[in-house]
Amino acid sequence: MTGRLATLLLGSALTISATLVGCSGEQKKGPDGKPEAGDGPSMSDIRAADVKDAVPANEPRARYGNHSPYVVFGKKYYVLESADDYVQRGTASWYGSKFHGRSTSSGEPYDMHLATAAHKTLPLPTYAEVTNLSNGKKVIVKINDRGPFKSDRLIDMSYGAALRLDMIGTGTAPVEVRVIETSTMQYTGASSSVTDVTEDTWLQIGAFGQKSSAKDLARQLEESDLKPVSIQKGKGLYRVWLGPYDSHIEINAAIQRAIELGFERPHKVNGPVK
């Protein structure tokens, strides 16, 4: 995985503290010299097919994360004035469970199951198509975070985006990052980095090989007043679902409630398991 430091200067006085992700098999140290806890994959049974492309939208620059220049490890970075015509090739890495639920540099919560990414200099947010040059697989991501701050890394993919690129096992991959122009699109007033809500939109909060484990989680959710809860069986797994929901407000409220209660952040799924 990646070495990653997410540092953001908000104006001239406010600094968000840095974090560093250790590479798999390595013990990385933070700025204080102490070993950092390792990063890792999701505990949910999420597959590449479950991760939807981010939907490009014309959005204003994020209030946070676009201060320029900013300094990390003594190196100064300048945020690009424009992302137009940006195409670069380099090495991608990924980050996951260690940052799940935390704020990104733009202020949005990091959801490792969505197609997002971190970049050192592109404006936040920026939408881009990322192609794994070793296998031709592609994903459209919303760039809403800063990093990676290793000199040989171009972009840091969310766990979900890395699943789409089939690079979880290798940790890194050669990629092409091609920005998608959004300035001519009508301003939506909100991010569209997740798929639209349909009448069959659910939240998956766990998947287990044993039915007893799924029933135990379902019981905990019901006792915490997170309802409706159901257990969906398919492909040898018992999946615990919340919903269905028919509005983004209901979905966001359920996700926030689950996080506040200490459960793993749920991710969206559509329709019953076949």
Answer yes or no: are the C-beta atoms of 244 and 200 closer than 8 Å: yes
More reliable by pLDDT, 43 or 80:
80
Residue 270 has pLDDT above 80, yes or no: no
Q: How far apart are CA 205 and CA 221, in angstroms?
A: 10
* pLDDT, tens digit, 9 for 90 and up, residues 206-236: 888 889 999 999 999 998 888 899 999 887 8
Confidence of residue 39 (pLDDT cuts 50, 70, 90): confident
Average pLDDT, integer, range 54-60: 88
Partners of 81 in beta bridges? none
pLDDT of 272: 65
For the entire predicted model, the pTM comes to 0.61
Which residues in the chain belong to E strands, given as ranges? 8-10, 14-16, 70-72, 75-77, 87-95, 116-119, 126-132, 138-145, 155-158, 173-179, 201-208, 229-234, 237-245, 267-270
Tokens standing for residue 210: 């044993």
Residue 16 has pLDDT above 50, yes or no: no
pLDDT of 183: 77
pLDDT of 193: 38
Q: How far apart are CA 242 and CA 228, in angstroms?
A: 6
Residue 62 has pLDDT above 60, yes or no: yes
Tell me which amino acid residue 160 is: G
Residue 167 has pLDDT above 90, yes or no: yes
| Sequence-distant contacts of 37-41: CB under 8 A, at least 24 apart | 37/98, 38/98, 39/1, 39/95, 39/96, 39/97, 39/98, 39/99, 40/96, 40/97, 40/98, 41/96, 41/97, 41/159, 41/168
- Determine which of 59-68, 163-172, 261-270 has the lowest per-residue pLDDT on average: 261-270
- CA 144 and chain centroid, separation: 9
pLDDT of 259: 77
* pLDDT, tens digit, 9 for 90 and up, residues 189-212: 444 333 444 556 888 898 888 899
Q: How far apart are CA 197 and CA 63, in angstroms?
A: 26
Walk me through the domains of the chain, giving residue ranges and CATH numbers: 8-179 (2.40.40.10), 201-270 (3.30.70.1070)
Average predicted confidence (pLDDT) for the chain: 80
Residue % of the chain over a pLDDT of 90: 45
Q: How far apart are CA 93 and CA 158, in angstroms?
A: 9
Residue 239 has pLDDT above 70, yes or no: yes
* pLDDT, tens digit, 9 for 90 and up, residues 95-118: 998 888 888 999 888 999 999 999
